[in-house]
Every structure is written in C-alpha cells, then in structure tokens.
Homo-oligomer: A and B are copies of this chain.
Amino acid sequence: MPLYDLSKHPLKVINIGLQSFQEDLQKQGVAVTQMDWQPPALIEPSILEKISLNSDRIDAANSKVIDKIQQGHPVLLGLDIALKVIPGMHKDLILHAGPPITWDRMCGPMRGAIIGALIYEGRAKTPEEAETLAKSGTIKYAPCHEHNAVGPMAGIISPSMPVFVLKNETFGNYAYCTQNEGLGKVLRYGAFAPEVIERLKWMEQVMYPILDKAIKSLGKIDLKSLIAQALHMGDEVHNRNRAGTSLLFRQLAPAIMRTCPNMEDAAMVLEFINGNDHFFLNLSMPAAKCILDAARDIPDSSIAVVMARNGTDFSIQLSGTGDEWFTGAALVPDALYFPGYTKDDANPDIGDSAITETAGLGGFAIAAAPAIVQFVGGSAADAQKYTRLMYEITAAESGNYQIPALDFRGTPLGIDVIKVTELNLTPFIDTGVAHKNPGVGQVGAGVVSAPMEPFIKALTGLAKRL
C-alpha cells in the first residue's frame, strides 16, 4: 500500500528556476519553496575544458590570492596633493572611474565632472571653455585603478586635488582617494555649478591641511579595525557609512583640536564631516583597493581584483590576467529615486565603489546593514538573502570582516569568475545613481547586479593564458 495518497494531502512543491512557475502555484494556494537556479552562462566548450583541465593550478593560485587579501591591513597615513603623490600623475592628466574610455564615449555625469574639474583647476572659466579643452586632446584620461587610486561615481581626480594616502601595512603598497564632498549636487555625480567648485576649493585650502596634520599627529588610523567595527554597527561601508564616519570622527576630533590653531576652521571641518555620513566611503574604497592590489598578478587565478564602471562600461580585472580589462555594457541600477526623478533620468552604473564588493564588503555585506534594506525589498531577510547568494560565487569567507546577523560569519570574499559563470549569477552591488545629463548630480541610490559579459570574457581571457 502507498504510504501517501497524494489526493488526500496538501501539495508541497519545490520549484527550481523560473519564478513564474512558483507564482502560478502560489495563486492556486499551493505551498511552494523557490530554489533560485539559472542555466550556466553560454561559454565555448573548449574554454570550459581548458579551465576544467587546469582546475588544480587555478585552485592553488586562488588560495594564494585569498591569503594575500586576508592578510591585507590598510591604514590611513594622511593626505597629499594628487600631482605630488599619485604615480604617473601629471598636470594634463585626469583620472576617472572604471575602465579606460575616450571623451566621445563618456557618459553625461563623467563629462560634467571633468568640466567641473577643469574649472576647479583654473584651466577654464566657463563650462563651454572646459568642454572645448576636455575634447581638444590636450587633456589625457586614465582610469584611477591604473594609478593605485579609486574614485566614487565619476571618480575624477585632477592634479591639484588632495587625496587620502593609505598604505597596506602587510605588503607596503599604497592607495589614494579624494575627500568625500557629501551628497546631492557634487562633482562626483557630474555637477559643476559654482557652489560645487567653491566647496572643492574649501576642501583643498581648509579641510585638507587640517585633516592631514591631525592624522599625521596620530601616526596612522587603522582602517581594518574601523571597517570591522563599522560592520558590527550597521554599515556595509558602501551605501551605509554612518558608523565608519562616526568612529573616524571620534579619532579625528581630539587630534584636530591639538593640531589646528584656528578653532573656527577646525569646527567647520568637524561640522562638515558630521553633516556627511558618507565621509568614510572615500576611505573604505581605497582600503579595499589597497587590500586587493596586493593580490594582483598571481598567474592562473580566477579571482577578481577589480570591478569598476565608467558609466558606459562595466569592467573587471582578474588576479591571473594582469592589467587586461574585461568589459560589458553598464546597466541602470534599481534605485530609490529622489522626489521628481525616475529611472529614465538615471545614468547606467558608474564608479569605482564596486571595489568594496570586490573586497567582500558593500552589497556582499548588505545583511550587516539593516538601515538600507529598503534598497532590496525592505526586510532584514531580503538583505540576508543577497549576502547568502554571494557566498555561492566567492572563494572564501573573510577572516577580518563579519556579519552579526549571520552569527558573525565572515563576509563572502573573493569573486571567482568560474563560479559566476557556472551559476550564471553575477555580483550584487550597492550604488548611488547619477543623473544621465552633465551638471545635475545625484538622483537616487540603490542596487544593481553586474552584467554577465565581463565575467564570460574574463573566463575566456584566463583560459587563453593557461
């Protein structure tokens, strides 16, 4: 006799893959457990075979990469002027977010930020003059990532901008990033109005020397420790940086008091930081850069050491494929938009800030940041779901950075292009959203999944080198 007569029992279904099947069953009152699954990405069989044949070599290389990332120890040493300190910087060079791009292919906010930077540098008086110079061929462009630097959104670094100087104490490499300007109408979102330039000038003339002196008086600020603590206090250090900013502020304030003779300026600097919960982003990003740069150039490794977007292209670099960029079209983020704006206003995904996800933070750690779960469905469980998924495409779990809500499990660390393509599941990235036109600024914040194309290309590129 059958133990179960199906007609007498309520159906319980596990649906694998296509979500609409689940929804149909739910409409009929059937309990369904949905298992996310997608067919693998389309890759040439010869590539897959080569990867498969070399899996031992790849695994060994990936272990080395993960070891180096785990050992990374970023500290903040102070600030300096980009021209003096960033390797290869020169007076006609402007660094930008993402992979290499020419003026004609640049998106609106990147053009806007370059126009602003040329006015800020005194190379142009009007936006029109700036645009003429920008496309004249005199000004050269290069990715921040190719100069040990990172920049949020447009990511523009021009020669006279002050930058934070970070060092990976374990391996001795450096990373650089500008000071965060706050939200809304700011250069990195493509705005270039006079108040934007004025703020940048104040940041250069007043804030930079005060911060530099204070940080140097402390010797260094341990960013590894700050990031670890921030994750215990609701930050994922990409779209949420309130705790990191607070903990940094606590170290800076007494040092500023002891080193700044002008108390009015000092108070204004502290008020500026206190008014900008994203101030720490421009430290979490170069901290991640610093950590990942030390893990570059391990032959045979399938681990990503860069994910970056210029607002037109989304590109990645692998530890095992040197300086080669693997590129696809950048997608428009799913976002919460500021009043008056919609997805139609949004520029495709832009910025080097995906370096945080590449280091196992940001979207990969979103379960640590309940205050921003409205970006991903509104519940703590939604956020945990995204973090859990990222364990599927990573090689390890962080030994340094933990997620309290997952009982202090280490964050998903080390994006493996083999797993990404096998599961057809791309990295999940927190992000801000810029208006697609130059001169406007930020219009929202949200999340985006990376496009698959760069990962397929990277796998192919790796296979060719094996």
Contacts and interface: CB of A to CB of B under 8 A. Distances in A.
Interface of A: 1, 3, 8, 232-234, 242-243, 246-247, 249-251, 253-254, 256-258, 263-264, 266-268, 270-271, 274, 370-371, 373, 378-381, 404-408
Contact of A380 (B234, B250, B407): B407
Residue among A254, A264, A266, A407 with the highest chain B CB neighbour number at 10 A: A254
Nearest to A263: B257
A370 B274 contact: no
Nearest to A408: B370
Main secondary structure of the interface of A (DSSP, over half): helix
19 contacts: A1-B1, A232-B370, A233-B233, A233-B371, A243-B243, A246-B246, A249-B250, A249-B253, A253-B270, A254-B268, A254-B274, A257-B257, A257-B266, A263-B263, A370-B408, A373-B404, A378-B407, A380-B405, A405-B405
Contacts of A378: 407
A249 B251 CA distance: 11
A250 B246 contact: yes
B254 A370 contact: no
Contact of A246 (B243, B371, B407): B243
Contacts of A246: 233, 243, 246-247, 249-250
Contacts of A233: 233-234, 242-243, 246, 371
Contacts of A268: 254
Given A233-B233, A234-B404, A246-B246, 13 more contacts: A232-B234, A232-B370, A232-B371, A233-B242, A234-B234, A249-B249, A249-B250, A253-B274, A254-B268, A257-B270, A258-B267, A370-B405, A405-B405
A127 to B, nearest CB: 34
A10 B258 CA distance: 70
Contacts of A371: 232-233, 404
Contacts of A243: 233-234, 243, 246
Nearest to A255: B267
A291 to B, nearest CB: 23
Contacts of A370: 232, 404-405, 408
Contacts of A405: 370, 380, 405
A250 to B, nearest CB: 5
Given A243-B243, A253-B249, A380-B405, A263 B258 contact: yes
Contacts of A407: 378-381
Given A233-B243, A234-B233, A407-B379, A274 B250 contact: yes
Given A404-B370, A405-B405, A271 B249 contact: no
Contacts of A406: 380
A268 B8 CA distance: 75
A267 B242 contact: no
B274 A251 contact: yes
A263 B249 CA distance: 17
Nearest to A406: B380
B249 A267 contact: no
Contacts of A247: 246
A6 to B, nearest CB: 12
